Structure 1
Amino acid sequence: MMGRQYLGLLFVFLVVAVGSYSSGCGAASPGAKVPAASATTSGSSSGSSSGSSSGSSAGAGGTATSGGSGGSSSASSSSFAAGVGGAGQVSSARFLFGIQLPNGVPIPAKINSDGSLSPAKASFTTGINANNPTNAAIDPSGTFLYQAAQPGIWGYTIDRATGNITQMSNTPFASTQNFDSIAIDQKGKFLYAFGGGELFAYSIQAGTGQLSAVPGSPFMAAPATQSFGPANRMAIDQASKFLFVSTSTGIIGFAIDGTSGVLSMISGSPFASTVKGAYSIAVVPSEHLYETTYANNGANPSGIYGYGVDVNTGALTSITGSPFAATCASSTNLTAPSQANLLFVAGCGMFSVNKSTGALTQVATAPSDGGIGGADWPVFDASGKVMWLITQDMQCWHCDIGVSAFDVNANNGALTQVPNSFLVMQNSFSGAIVSIAITQ
């Protein structure tokens, strides 16, 4: 296929049902340039005793002022992009990783100045790979990538010059446990994995990325909502004070001990217990949390549910007007840039965010030119100028699956596909790409 770069496809004769990912080639237009990023990672490596890392000071960047619920402050220049797979992301992204089925080896790619992708390569010290991976989390230094799978947590080191990855020793961690989702706090000190109705907490060892269980782990939560595919089921706020997880009983919140990583359930959990089919969540820099629900749950309106986050207690309060875009019946994963002015919901479209109230106003539909309206797992560059989506060919028997880049119109939030940006990573005959993660 013209204008596309191919990675080696893994022709495993396996049919994998992971939901519908759709795409195509959007209209050509000049690509928005991704600001240049230094090859030297700023800040200390993850797990440092001070907790500082790229984009965060001794206190986490983007912390809201004390008092009141969400909306008590607006995003600052050190706010973190949400729902991107990488913790503490402030600088422009340099590498993107596709999480694939069936063999689970993350597929690395370098991000070019226009947002398009160039393939990197993976090297391994072992031939064992993850089965049934779900999503990935990357520490703020961009050095360590962790992949949730069924079973295990799979760790990799990232070559900061090339984006190539190497499997860590002792991988997989928690090798007998099935995990639905994984996240790292904004300071890069702790990793949390959700599986079997519990939250498994780990300290990240500086320099090596090895994981050590936090005292008291695992912490009881509730089972995940059964759905058609992987979802970003955990979110950590800007200050790394609170962790939220979407479950079959509602959204359960935990306070994070900044020294030990120990979790304490927030009073009032589970929140939004009457909203059934909890699916994907994201906490945006203005200290608001947004939730999508499994479209086929039949128990409540579709759309996007919004909540204010109390910056002192972590308690959630429904935003006036929620749910938003109630007629949008196919909303899935969601993401926001560090500016906190936009929220993109896959399968639904782009929304402007009122930083004070958290109210959403739809400003653009999901990309549909060429049949890519059902594209999933969106991630924003921290600059807010580029967004990436899992997309695939249409009107094909065995469809190529990969990632496409889109320019984001700063005035109206509209998306235009960067020309020739579709990087093929898999094929529907042999597997799928189920999630992506970026790092600065």
Structure 2
Amino acid sequence: MILMMPPARKTKLRDLSLLLLLLLLLLFLLDRGAASKRVSSLRLARIRRHLDMINKPALRSIQSPDGDIIDCVRSHKQLALDHPLLKDHIIQRLPSERPAFSGGRVMSNSTITKQAWQNWHHVGHCPKGTIPVRRSSIDDVLRAKSLYHYGKKRHRRWPMNPGGRSAYAPDVVSGNGHEHAIAYTGTDQELYGAKATINVWEPSIQVGNEFSLSQIWVLSGSFDGSDLNSIEAGWQVSPELYGDSRPRLFTYWTSDAYQVTGCYNLLCSGFIQTNNKIAIGASISPISSFDGNQFDISILIWKDPKLGDWWMSFGDDMLVGYWPAELFTHLTDRATMVEWGGEVVNTRSDGRHTSTQMGSGRFAEEGFARSSYFRNLEIVDADNSLSPVQSITTLAENPNCYDIKSSANSDWGTYFYYGGPGSNPRCL
């Protein structure tokens, strides 16, 4: 005998099965949501631990008009001294020597440019015995690709010629989104530092993870390997790093071609600051205007001839601090190349060349009060003498997007204009 299930009961079981399935699906989604929250909480906890490490206790905190918080940290408590190579390092208050001015040095007496300063000075100052440090926030870290990448440049690859040598000047990268307009000197010289005066602009950035900067590079090591040493300083606009589009004073260093070592500003241990008036990473103000006043900054980087540390000064020879010799391999001896110029990141986010500007966003041919400039280019030689650069090579990877034009005169010595708008009818 075959027993048949009543139709009403069959329908009821089907409805119960469907309900059970829906319940299981709901539990699965809730579990995924809880897991997602747990992952977010773990990430947030890691970020907070990292910020506790880099944001040292402050003797005083200053709320800058631009939104930054500047912490006045005791010099001997600064993050730099957490570096394992510096655990026995004694802070040098002054270099053993400053570069001597050679007789051929060109002095600029221009009255049509003015020195730029920093916004936070309008509301406070850090007392002696402390250094001003821009406080990092959770939002700063969240804008980065990851906690590991916060404060670091992307690893770079240099294109190679058939003979295995780098096809371009160091740090000029093709195919990795970085584009440059630079002047450089070296290869047959012993270099112990460099100087320049740079006017400051506020270039437009198309995409948040792109940037535009103008800087000095002091380089040594293998340009096609992983042991390049680089010291860098200048101004940059980087919404990802700072959360806004203001130009900011910045530094960078690496001893392994941007792979693991080094970082921007004071976001990792390494650079030792000695100055209580300059905040690395803070915004610069005022800035240059089109057909108006030009505001510039002067930066000098040089190697202490006795102790081997690489010092940096800002403006009228105001000491900022130094990169200890212990951080480097090749730069413990000397530099083999110096570069001056601009760099942008081109992500091609919409398939076209970025419209992120370099410098003022104008091409070099437009000249003073319209284009960006580096003037009074100087180098430090083996005798610790600062002298005008006599010869430079210029390079722009894509002159339809960003270009460079150099010259010399009695007031500005060796100088160049550079920059560009990025995307335009000739730059696709």
TM-score by length of 1: 0.27
Bigger helix share: 2
Q: Where is the strand percentage greater, Structure 1 or Structure 2?
A: 1
Scaled by the length of structure 2, the TM-score of the pair is 0.27
Q: Which has the higher contact order (CA 8 A, sep 6+)?
A: 1
Computing the radius of gyration over CA atoms, which structure comes out larger, 1 or 2?
2
